[in-house]
């Protein structure tokens, strides 16, 4: 399984992804799921994948090779598309190309062609955007109303986002809340695991503000987990006992 979350707030973008993959519960490995395509001052793009690892890696390879745009003939990559909408289209075309090659065989073996991509970033003077690209190659986009998108196992980490996240949240808080969301998932789902990769870009800076990997040893993340656990304990302890049971 996987958990990746992308958050687009007024002053920037946060993307966080775990690194655990499993083919059966006795075949666990660590693979990077969050990839950054950066040309400082010109573009900063994050791409996170969930689903079948072979499909994800093939899509990445196709994106690195580039795809000829059927209209212009130009070979497009994430380093030369002109805006994030084109970038989402390019990722969709890469997914469809891998489907053409592998889809039928996977199906013959009873496997689903399964990939989901979070694609966020900004290119030149065009807007910063965040997309969720589906296995079919189509995409939806985060908006002011719904500033976060999740792929993989979204449920454990969704309550904190539902309560705390909005477009007006500062990017530093967005990162913190995203890490709490990741921690909730790590706590409740063994198939999501450390280390965790992080990509943060401020709006209009056109470069990564953060590109880092958080491991088990990371002091801040350990502290965040402990503080969050004690805060939750304190929170439920501070709520009075239910009156329905006062006669006990």
Among 7, 115, 151, 175, binds a second copy (CB under 8 A): 175
For 233, the token pair is: 């304990």
**Closest separation in Å from C-beta 5 to a second copy:** 14
| CA dihedral sign, ordered 53, 55, 59, 61 | positive
Among 20, 121, 184, 192, binds a second copy (CB under 8 A): 184
**Closest separation in Å from C-beta 104 to a second copy:** 25
Q: Tell me the number of residues near a second copy by CB under 8 A.
A: 47
Q: What residues from 128 to 167 belong to the interface with a second copy (CB under 8 A)?
A: 155-156, 158-160, 162-164
**Closest separation in Å from C-beta 48 to a second copy:** 17
- 96 or 207, CB closer to a second copy? 207
Contact 28, 76 (CB under 8 A): no
Q: What residues from 225 to 244 belong to the interface with a second copy (CB under 8 A)?
A: 227-229, 231-236, 238-244
Q: What residues from 187 to 226 belong to the interface with a second copy (CB under 8 A)?
A: 187-188, 198, 200, 202, 209-210, 212, 220, 223-224
Helix, strand, coil % in the chain, rounded to nearest 5: 35, 30, 35
By the rule CB under 8 A, 25 interacts with a second copy:
no
What is d(CA 119, CA 89) in angstroms, rounded to the nearest whole number? 11
| CA dihedral sign, ordered 53, 184, 209, 128 | positive
Select from 90-98, 127-135, 144-152, 172-180 the region that touches a second copy (CB under 8 A).
172-180
């Amino acid at each position: 399984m996987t958990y990746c979350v992308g958050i687009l707030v007024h002053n920037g973008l946060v993307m966080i992804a775990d690194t655990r993959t499993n083919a059966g519960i006795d075949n666990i490995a660590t693979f990077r799921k969050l990839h950054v395509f950066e040309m400082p001052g010109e573009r900063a793009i994050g791409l996170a994948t969930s689903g079948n690892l072979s499909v994800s890696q093939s899509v990445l390879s196709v994106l690195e090779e580039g795809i000829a745009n059927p209209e212009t003939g130009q070979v497009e990559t994430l380093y030369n598309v002109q805006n994030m909408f084109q970038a989402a289209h390019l990722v969709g075309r890469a997914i469809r190309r891998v489907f053409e090659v592998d889809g039928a065989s996977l199906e013959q073996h009873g496997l689903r062609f399964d990939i989901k991509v979070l694609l966020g970033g900004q290119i030149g003077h065009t807007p910063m955007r965040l997309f969720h690209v589906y296995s079919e190659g189509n995409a939806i986009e985060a908006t002011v109303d719904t500033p976060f998108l999740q792929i993989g196992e979204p449920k454990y980490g969704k309550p904190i986002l539902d309560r705390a996240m909005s477009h007006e949240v500062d990017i530093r808080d967005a990162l913190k809340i995203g890490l709490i969301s990741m921690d909730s998932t790590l706590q409740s789902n063994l198939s999501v695991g450390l280390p965790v990769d992080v990509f943060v870009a401020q709006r209009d800076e056109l470069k990564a503000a953060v590109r880092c990997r958080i491991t088990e040893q990371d002091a801040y993340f350990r502290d965040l987990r402990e503080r969050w656990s004690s805060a939750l304990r304190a929170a439920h302890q501070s709520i009075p006992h239910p009156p329905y049971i006062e006669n006990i």
